[in-house]
Structure 1
């Protein structure tokens, strides 16, 4: 509990640092915010109209004034209004985040369901043909970009089977679970298989280290079956690096798998942020990045707490 409280006290400091970074970074993107908002119609503006728009959005002030005005509203729970959607930023984030969260959870489930058993299987058959094949598959999986896998999946389905994944109109899981799963299963497989390759390699290496420990040899000398030794005694300790990797990957997925959401036309958080950057929608970009950063810190905290659950020898309050 003491460790968790100390970590929570650091959250505001990190969030402030992220807010400063994203505020500066988004304004360093080349281009004019007014032109990005209005497109071709911006050429019809008179200088007075342009100045009025800049004053309305606060772009006529220096960066320090703009930052303080925005950050003081954030402290009150107001992330501003999106110039692209004309809605409160927090409302847009909360509407698009459930899709990204569902995609991230489904991808992680697929990755762990494939990668963990395969990694353990490879470790128990070290240097045998099965181990070599799995290592090659894992290397190919990690080397292939996710958007390539997604495009190939769409091509195979359309050319080989004459079907296309349903795209364009997302259906929430609360309305139609089966249709929702049909829309997300292919993107989740695209993301999950790529991460599964990393899980195979990490879990294999961790399991090989654990299997050489003295307590594993002691368990075997007592007559325990290999199945009990591997899954009951060795696997919990081998899960620690897998949990670490999963936490980092899950945090990135919560930020939105931008390319995958773009390929499959999913209105998730990553696609929203990409559109906001292209439209120079400062409030939406800044609010989305802060939201993602907060989720990332929460996931990392949960991962650290999971360490002590997996291995009681780890005392977080002493570190």
Structure 2
């Protein structure tokens, strides 16, 4: 409980630091949001109209005043008004977040389903040709950008089968499960393949360490079936580094699936953030980054708590 409270206390401090960084960074980008929003039509506005629009979107004051006004709104749950969409930032984010959340979860599931068995398989055959093949696959997967997998999938489907992945407006899982899965399967596979390589390498390394422990040798000497030794005794203790990797990667997937969402035309949080940066939509970029940072910290907290469930010897209260 002490550890949990200490982590929760650090949340506001981290969020404050993130808010300062993103506030300054987005304003260092050349251009202004009014010109980016209106394009060539911005030249037709009178100075009074430009001033009125700037005041409406809260960008007519100095940086310090803007930051103080925005931060006071964040504390009360008001992330500001989006220049691009003309809606409250929180409303826009919550509309896009379900797709990105589902895509990240789907990608992690694919990576675990493929990567864990491959890692265990390689660890139990260390030094053999099959182990080398898995390690080569993992090395290639880690060194290949995810968008290359995406473009390759689209090419294979179009050139080999004459079809294209489902693209367009997001269909919620509760509304149309088949349509939802058909829309997200290939994007999730694209992200999952890259992540599979990391899971394979980490699970292999962790399994090799665990298989050399005394309790595993004791179980083998007592005649416990090889399958039970691997899957019931060794694997649970080898999952801690895998869970750590999943927690970190899941946080990155929530904010870093920009290219995949762009390739497959998915209206997710990453694509929205990219468009907001291009449009100089200060409030939307700031709100999206804060939202992703908060989710990243929550995921990492859940990962830390999961350690205790997997290994009761860990006492989070004593961790620094």
**Shorter-chain TM-score category?**
over 0.9
Q: TM-score, normalised by structure 1?
A: 0.98
1:274 to partner: Cα distance: 0.6
Aligned pairs, number: 319
Encode CA deviations 1:159-190: one digit per residue, 9 max, x unaligned.
11001111122211111100110000000100
Give, in whole Å, the separation in 2 of the partners of 1:98 and 1:51: 36
Give, in whole Å, the separation in 2 of the partners of 1:234 and 1:247: 21
1:138 aligns with 2:138: yes
1:127 to partner: Cα distance: 1.0
1:243 aligns with 2:243: yes
2:102 corresponding residue in structure 1: 102
1:233 corresponding residue in structure 2: 233
2:84 corresponding residue in structure 1: 84
Shift >3 Å, 4+ stretches: none
1:44 to partner: Cα distance: 1.6
Judge conservation of contact 2:33–2:83 (CA < 8 Å) in 1: no
2:278 corresponding residue in structure 1: 278
Judge conservation of contact 2:80–2:89 (CA < 8 Å) in 1: yes
The unaligned stretches of length 5 or more in structure 1 are none
Judge conservation of contact 1:84–1:281 (CA < 8 Å) in 2: yes
Give, in whole Å, the separation in 2 of the partners of 1:191 and 1:132: 24
Encode CA deviations 1:250-288: one digit per residue, 9 max, x unaligned.
011122500000000000100111111110111111111
Give, in whole Å, the separation in 2 of the partners of 1:171 and 1:316: 40
Judge conservation of contact 1:107–1:191 (CA < 8 Å) in 2: yes
Give, in whole Å, the separation in 1 of the partners of 2:34 and 2:76: 27
Judge conservation of contact 1:122–1:130 (CA < 8 Å) in 2: yes
Give, in whole Å, the separation in 2 of the partners of 1:272 and 1:53: 22
2:24 corresponding residue in structure 1: 24
1:59 to partner: Cα distance: 2.3
Give, in whole Å, the separation in 2 of the partners of 1:307 and 1:241: 10
Encode CA deviations 1:19-73: one digit per residue, 9 max, x unaligned.
1111111111122222112111112223333333333333231111000001101
1:258 aligns with 2:258: yes
1:170 corresponding residue in structure 2: 170
The unaligned stretches of length 5 or more in structure 2 are none
Judge conservation of contact 2:308–2:315 (CA < 8 Å) in 1: yes
Give, in whole Å, the separation in 1 of the partners of 2:109 and 2:33: 40
Encode CA deviations 1:99-153: one digit per residue, 9 max, x unaligned.
1111111110000000001000000000101101100111111111111110111
2:294 corresponding residue in structure 1: 294
What is the RMSD of the two structures over their aligned residues, measured on CA atoms? 1.1
